[in-house]
Amino acid sequence: MNAKVYSMFTGKELRTIDIDDKVFGLPFNEELVWYAVKNELANKRQGNASTKGRAEVNGSNARPFRQKGTGRARQGDKKSPLLVGGGTIFGPKPRDFSYSMNKKAKRQALKSILSLKVQSEMLKIVEDFSVESGKTKDLAKLFENFNHGLRTVLILKDNDPILKRAGANIPWLSFLSFNRLRAHDLFYGRQVIMLESAAKNLSEFYSEGDK
């Protein structure tokens, strides 16, 4: 399929390139994308919440008052969950929430999201560029040609530390490399901007992975 390439400096169309239908022209698989996003969020959870049960809190094993003659309900000890300062019932403990997802399924989910962005006209391919000054204001000015302020994902051909440094203080901008995409960022991005070389590399990368 054909895709337009725009200038990052003027916002105007420059030329048309071919992109792989097997990456950008697939039907949207809602269930697979849901599993991919859920998997990423689960793997990011720290899982360090912890509470103390009645066997772990400090306190005496003695009864708070005598068992008979008071008219009150029986109490075993001061560490009971029913008393202030007692243990917690079924409270959270440190655990690992992460789990693995089938590699082929994850690739298919990412391709499904990319196809959705193309069909929704939320993905634009731009000519390769960089911000030599490394200044945030210079990069932000370039995005004025592409709906400034929307939650944006910029897909790079490789790791560009100067470009990433320039965008570090832009709250609505995040960076992804073509070979390390994240389903959550892609799906929730209001617009996806992809470098021309990244689009070509991405087509080759996923074509090789499907063999």
| Domain map (residue ranges) of the chain | 2-46+100-209, 51-91
Residues 6+ apart with CB under 8 A from 93: 49, 50, 51
User: Is the distance from CB of 118 to CB of 193 less than 8 angstroms?
Assistant: no
Q: Give per-residue pLDDT as tens, 172-206.
A: 999 999 989 999 999 999 999 999 999 988 888 88
What predicted TM-score, i.e. pTM, was given to this entire model? 0.83
Containing 21, the helix (H) or strand (E) segment is: helix 21-24
Please state the φ and ψ torsions of residue 31, each to the nearest 5 degrees: -65, -45
Distance of CA 127 to the CA centre of its chain: 26
Give the lowest-confidence range in 4-8, 20-24, 95-99, 204-208: 204-208
3-state class of 125 per DSSP?
Answer: strand
DSSP 68: S
Q: CA 153 → CA 28, 117, 120, 188, 194, distances in Å?
A: 19, 11, 15, 9, 8
Torsional sign, CA 177, 178, 180, 183: positive
pLDDT of residue 176: 94
Neighbours of 36 (CB within 10 A): 25
Task: Residue 202: count other Cβ atoms within 10 Å of its Cβ.
Answer: 25
- CATH superfamily for 2-46+100-209 is Ribosomal protein L4/L1 (3.40.1370.10)
> In the predicted model, is pLDDT for residue 5 greater than 60?
yes
Spatial contact of 89 and 81, defined as CB atoms under 8 Å apart: yes
Tens of pLDDT, residue by residue over 34-72, are: 999 999 999 999 999 999 999 999 988 888 889 999 999
CA distance 115 to 206: 13
